[in-house]
Amino acid sequence: MLPAIETPEIRNPEPTPLASHLALPTVAAQGVLTPFSLDAPDTETEALLHGTAIHDLGWLRLIEIRGEDRERWLSGMVTNMVEALPSGAGAYNLVLNAQGRIQGDATIWRITDRLWLETSASQAPVLAAHFDHFIIMDDVELLPPDAHSPDSALGLTGPGAEPLLASLGLKAPALPEGESQSCVELCFSGFPIRIHRLYSPITPQFALWAPSAHIPALWDRLHAAGATPVGYQAIESLRILSGVPLYGTDIESRDLPQETSQTRALHFAKGCYLGQEIVERIRSRGQVHRHLRQLELTLNPGTPLPSSGTELRKPGAADDSKPAAILSSVTQLPDGRAFALAVVRAEAEIGNPTLLFSTGSARVLSGPPKLS
């Protein structure tokens, strides 16, 4: 049985459009209430990795950046390219303060001549307030989608996702070059839909954006076409397996960009942006002392999965010594294999030693794990 997902306390979260439609047990996650599980764990995992899974992404939010100064201003607020971003493309970004500390993360999308910032429901109001503080003499507005635009999303994941879209007459966006992401705008059953191809190193993953009122109908059509319903628990496992950090869990406001290992969020040839001086100083003068890494865990027989916050030490280290690593996100697959994201001290990575915790051991992975 998969472990329960631990989420921070969220005040008065609202159910996503899908959660309201399905009326099933939910979990508070990323600022919303979303379905926790929709099928057996092994069925959901199989659909994500080898089939076609349909799931909630209703915790995502869109903020449109409008105004004549939008490109220059937004480029000065995030770590990745904006002005050179082609139409129909997206780029993952970090948002920093002047000291180079991470205030949040987001994907910036250019759709025709419009710029959209995509982030989680829990981050959206905080980032909006942060950005608003820096709109001084600029012709810039931050606006939510209008009443008739796509404003909520479903996920379609797995090797069968693109063929399923094609069976419904929906063309998936092309696979982009490098670390960028891509999207297309379409019309489906009389309402607008936008398909985003997401960063996903293990299995193809798409976000299907539609007006909230049409999310139930879109879910029903995709389910009827053969997609397997999957809940947040399995999606969280896939996130950990993919090495994608969650802000507030794996990334915190004290962290520096290079500590997250998310090099895909950094563009070193763009113009100036808030916090750039610290990012460039780290790049040019030396490495940071810790990194977010993927781990594979080996559990002692009959012992439970360790929780987030568990400390790991090198063999022979005293119990009161500084930990070599601290787990931030942990998951266990139905086949018993366990994986985690963890903040690992740089010196603890030398020689890639086995790291120990009270109920097992761990090793740092060089990339996403190979899964059968």
pLDDT in tens, 154-164: 999 999 999 99
Please state the rounded mean pLDDT for residues 221-239. 98
Q: What's the order of all strands across the beta sheet hosting 26-29?
A: 14-15, 32-35, 26-29
Place of tokens 């489906």: 188
Provide the pairing of β-strand 89-96 with 181-188: antiparallel
Domains in the chain, start-ordered, CATH in brackets? 7-288 (3.30.1360.120), 289-365 (2.40.30.110)
Q: How confident is the model at residue 145 (pLDDT cuts 50, 70, 90)?
A: very high
pTM for the model = 0.93
At residue 320 the predicted structure's pLDDT band, cuts being 50, 70 and 90, is confident
